[in-house]
Structure 1
């Protein structure tokens, strides 16, 4: 928690210091009220006072109460502002940290957990900061100041008050020890509810197609009920504190008046004494009665300080857990770090080289790829084919630096990819993911998405759409290029999403285009025409194509055949048909000998 708070902006720290001063002033005014209460009590005990004496003391009490209320409003405003700025700052840090994550870090935390940490967890800390400035600072000051006020007035009443404080601390400490582990469980269970909800929403079509509504409902009910039971346990424990506090507060007040009555009664009035002795005894009784009334108010302020702290204790455990989860994100190591080369000063252009590259996923027992070596020059087309799970997408991801090679080196334009800044590297590339991703925007906004080395013009967008074979279905839309695309492309087909994703990569005018199984949803005619346009309109662009279909890659300049993470062969289609058994098996499983001939 402190690690997050110490990074608070200087402006907010200044406002927090001002809030502390105002809170001290508020406590001072609050603790002046019992003094005036005692003063009025003493005045009542004397018959020589006028109404103006009461009005003066009452006016002072009213001024203190109004001053305290005004300071409370100002402190509340400052606390809300500081908490909002603090959460804005932390949320920005978490967001930018997640943006630096690679695939390994994302899989470690999971998408649902990262969303919860960015929203719910930060909100928990924001609430604690807002309440803490008003309560956590006020309560200790109030308790300490009130104790100073009551010390020396009566050791009997002081012992009674101390006993009440010890009882409260024992109850709070016991409950916190029992409930804190449960609060950690609550945050994890919120992640589970978030995960199952996302699965239901994103997989709604599949759920309905397989009549799995009841299964998904039971699945959600299970995680939801677990969360409810844990929260019920923690809330019942917290609810137990409030009646305990009220009981202690009432018992303390009753005890102070009972003991105070005995102390007042012990001051005897000498009826046979002189007038001076009689008035002195009466004055002593009046002073003691005033002390008892004031002591009761101070003692209740001490207990009230713990009542205020109780509000924080309700929020503190969850906020501590949330702070720990946020720090896990902020302190996590980034596996893929950018270099400093902006990519402008390179002798080569559009070349890709793998020098004895091996790769192993974090935590895996074996390498996913082993001893991969090849070179592709500008304008050439490299195809990668192999069985499912052979490492095709991983190989493409290494070229795009989604991961870093465990062994060996990957070169782009003759330089190690680790030396490039992210912007310098991705200005050279257009990458089309295996799963087409579109954003809630217009078609034009999706195709012109992001920034490139040169500004993407409307002409670039139209050219990319034409090459990607997307013009046909765009023309049928009512608003054409400015038609709206729903989140994740929910209002277009799989093939249309792939074509728009391909257009987005082409619009950047990159040196290298990487297609990670990006033609799978295209029909054969569209596939053929798209590849023809790539070869004619983008002759100087290097293409890397990951594919399952022989027809998609048979005309590539080089074809890499992967088998269980190893290179089973490399060459042209004709060469591989002669000397690569794995490639032959794939080819004959898809096409007849006549078609291959």
Structure 2
């Protein structure tokens, strides 16, 4: 307000210099007679200037006063600029943190449907768009309002009729700006969405670059990105074309207004109804009003972008926080390892049929249960229910006698560990990846080494040039599939939790390593409850009990010997895998014998 208000003084200095100092006051005219009560320069400034007697002294004092005013304005402009920057950056920081925190607390089902690249754009590009508007265009809106108001006051004090003549086109400019905003709003939405799709394609390609290279699929990915990039560029071009129409049209309107003001001002000045100084001041004031109003186009563009960005951010923030709506009295019981499923069913929101149907079984503390079944039978869903990544539709799941729905989600996940088939490793050292889940501020090396030894990955790590300090690369790409799975197992073991779920997380290791890991776990603790989801009979056969799932239901359940002798599905799987393994062993033995004969 201060910077804008003092700016309206500058044309008054021009007016005073022309009418009181430089102009030839003889002969006296009607305009001269009204100068004393029309002069709008503040009285304090006029008294200061009138200290000098001669016109040259008055001009010198006027220049000094103008310089002082500009220095003061410069100081306040610096304060304004710094305040804008601090304010906008503070808002952007808080928005980023709030959005990131909220994304962390969104449900697993939300993340399975969301596009990672689009979420990244909302957390970075969209927030930066809002930051630019808050830091640059929002102050511009207030500057335009203040400048328009203060300038209008000064103009009315000089000449009422000239003021109204100078504002003829203002309503047309505002109307034109509003129509422009309404037309371009939909283009901004399409542009943001197309940029999000482009970001998603880029993120997916870089994440899956190994697959792209393996199948020589670079051309397809290039064409895909080119198509999305072209669509984004076309939308940007639509914005540029619309802006070109707005700028050229508004310039034409403003030029018409300036010509009108000059003609009217010249008429009033020639006829003695307006002094030359006032005429010059009006020409300055008209630019104060019209050109900032013209800048509404830039403000409107950035406002359109930021409003779309805000809507996209709000879409994420409006998603339900999975922890927020939990009851305040959620339980944190002592979890030891006893699990009971009673008529549990689960169905996805977008599915036509339940994934699990009336599943019932019990697991005692320290037992090892294996779950097998064909793809899509509901094995992984069962594991996800136990850690409350999903909540069961009906039935009951009890952990040591407490209903799972009544247990705090974070508490349950801290006591029931799950190791996924495709584990995610962070782009850090192996040591940091294994110790990342520890509750301790600083992990002891002995604990890290012990967990790695149980997971049968310790020797592999020592073979690396930098040992445990080896960086695994983004998503663990520098490790083999089996090594990643074993590092993930070691990572979970440092938590020393009572219930451990292997969601097909031993699939990438050989049978001997698989057996070694299970034996090490058994030696470590007899109280550890293990649920092993697997396709491999050799892994399942050592379990205390085996659950066979088919189409979301328990088809068979029992020990390996019981199922081999009395079941249909398990026996068939056993025979198929046994036959394949036998053929492989026979072939391997034959090749080995031929090699010996050749030697």
TM-score scaled by structure 2? Answer: 0.88
Select the residue among 35, 38, 46 that pairs with 2:24: 46
Find the counterpart in structure 2 of residue 556 from structure 1.
543
Find the counterpart in structure 2 of residue 219 from structure 1.
224
Find the counterpart in structure 2 of residue 210 from structure 1.
215
Q: Within the alignment, does 1:584 sit opposite 2:571 as a pair? A: yes
Q: Within the alignment, does 1:239 sit opposite 2:217 as a pair? A: no
Give the Cα separation in 2 of the matches to 1:477 and 1:109: 37
2:346–2:392 Cα contact (<8 Å) kept: yes
Q: 1:457 to 1:422 in 2, by over 3 A?
A: farther
Find the counterpart in structure 1 of residue 286 from structure 2.
299
After TM superposition, give the deviation of residue 384 of structure 1 in Å: 1.0
- SS of the aligned residue for 1:357 comes to strand
Q: 1:416 to 1:451 in 2, by over 3 A?
A: farther
2:105–2:321 Cα contact (<8 Å) kept: yes
Give the Cα separation in 1 of the matches to 2:465 and 2:541: 38
Q: Within the alignment, does 1:436 sit opposite 2:419 as a pair? A: no
Select the residue among 490, 494, 509 that pairs with 2:481: 494
Over residues 265-306 of structure 1, what are the superposed CA-to-partner deviations in whole Å (9 max), with x where a residue is unaligned? 223xxxxxxxxxxxxxxxxx6x53222222222221111331
Give the Cα separation in 2 of the matches to 1:342 and 1:360: 24
Give the Cα separation in 2 of the matches to 1:245 and 1:214: 46
- SS of the aligned residue for 1:427 comes to helix
- SS of the aligned residue for 1:441 comes to coil
Give the Cα separation in 1 of the matches to 2:55 and 2:319: 72
Find the counterpart in structure 1 of residue 37 from structure 2.
none
After TM superposition, give the deviation of residue 395 of structure 1 in Å: 0.6
1:342–1:423 Cα contact (<8 Å) kept: no
Find the counterpart in structure 1 of residue 72 from structure 2.
67
1:30–1:64 Cα contact (<8 Å) kept: no
- SS of the aligned residue for 1:151 comes to helix
- 1:295-374 aligned within 5 A: 295-335=282-322, 345-346=333-334, 349-374=336-361
Q: Within the alignment, does 1:199 sit opposite 2:204 as a pair? A: yes
Give the Cα separation in 2 of the matches to 1:401 and 1:200: 31
- 1:113-512 aligned within 5 A: 113-151=118-156, 153-154=158-159, 156-267=161-272, 287-335=274-322, 345-346=333-334, 349-452=336-439, 456-512=443-499
- SS of the aligned residue for 2:391 comes to coil
Give the Cα separation in 2 of the matches to 1:51 and 1:454: 77
Over residues 214-241 of structure 1, what are the superposed CA-to-partner deviations in whole Å (9 max), with x where a residue is unaligned? 1111100000000000011112212333
Find the counterpart in structure 2 of residue 99 from structure 1.
104
Q: Within the alignment, does 1:32 sit opposite 2:4 as a pair? A: no
Task: Indicate the larger mover: 498-507 or 565-574.
Answer: 565-574
Give the Cα separation in 1 of the matches to 2:373 and 2:440: 34
- SS of the aligned residue for 1:163 comes to coil
2:333–2:402 Cα contact (<8 Å) kept: no
- SS of the aligned residue for 2:169 comes to helix
- SS of the aligned residue for 1:101 comes to coil
Task: Indicate the larger mover: 330-339 or 144-153.
Answer: 330-339
After TM superposition, give the deviation of residue 362 of structure 1 in Å: 2.5
Structure 2, unaligned stretches of length 5 or more? 27-53, 583-599
Find the counterpart in structure 1 of residue 93 from structure 2.
88
Select the residue among 571, 574, 577 that pairs with 2:561: 574
Give the Cα separation in 1 of the matches to 2:437 and 2:515: 28
After TM superposition, give the deviation of residue 456 of structure 1 in Å: 4.6
Over residues 373-407 of structure 1, what are the superposed CA-to-partner deviations in whole Å (9 max), with x where a residue is unaligned? 11111110111111111111111011111111111
Give the Cα separation in 1 of the matches to 2:240 and 2:67: 38
Structure 1, unaligned stretches of length 5 or more? 1-23, 268-284
Give the Cα separation in 2 of the matches to 1:594 and 1:356: 37
Find the counterpart in structure 2 of residue 17 from structure 1.
none
After TM superposition, give the deviation of residue 255 of structure 1 in Å: 2.2
Find the counterpart in structure 1 of residue 61 from structure 2.
56
Over residues 172-225 of structure 1, what are the superposed CA-to-partner deviations in whole Å (9 max), with x where a residue is unaligned? 122212110010111111111111111211222222222221111110000000
1:339–1:422 Cα contact (<8 Å) kept: no
After TM superposition, give the deviation of residue 522 of structure 1 in Å: 0.6
Give the Cα separation in 1 of the matches to 2:450 and 2:438: 17
1:380–1:542 Cα contact (<8 Å) kept: yes
Q: Within the alignment, does 1:532 sit opposite 2:519 as a pair? A: yes
After TM superposition, give the deviation of residue 369 of structure 1 in Å: 1.1
After TM superposition, give the deviation of residue 504 of structure 1 in Å: 0.6
Q: 1:458 to 1:202 in 2, by over 3 A?
A: same
Give the Cα separation in 2 of the matches to 1:223 and 1:520: 37
Over residues 525-559 of structure 1, what are the superposed CA-to-partner deviations in whole Å (9 max), with x where a residue is unaligned? 21121122222223210001111111111111121
1:343–1:425 Cα contact (<8 Å) kept: no
After TM superposition, give the deviation of residue 26 of structure 1 in Å: 0.6
- SS of the aligned residue for 1:364 comes to coil
2:437–2:494 Cα contact (<8 Å) kept: no
After TM superposition, give the deviation of residue 156 of structure 1 in Å: 4.6
After TM superposition, give the deviation of residue 576 of structure 1 in Å: 2.3
Give the Cα separation in 1 of the matches to 2:291 and 2:390: 57
Q: 1:506 to 1:244 in 2, by over 3 A?
A: same
- SS of the aligned residue for 1:389 comes to coil
Give the Cα separation in 1 of the matches to 2:327 and 2:546: 31
2:19–2:275 Cα contact (<8 Å) kept: no
2:386–2:416 Cα contact (<8 Å) kept: no
TM-score scaled by structure 1? Answer: 0.88
Q: 1:168 to 1:288 in 2, by over 3 A?
A: same
Task: Indicate the larger mover: 489-498 or 146-155.
Answer: 146-155
- SS of the aligned residue for 2:275 comes to helix
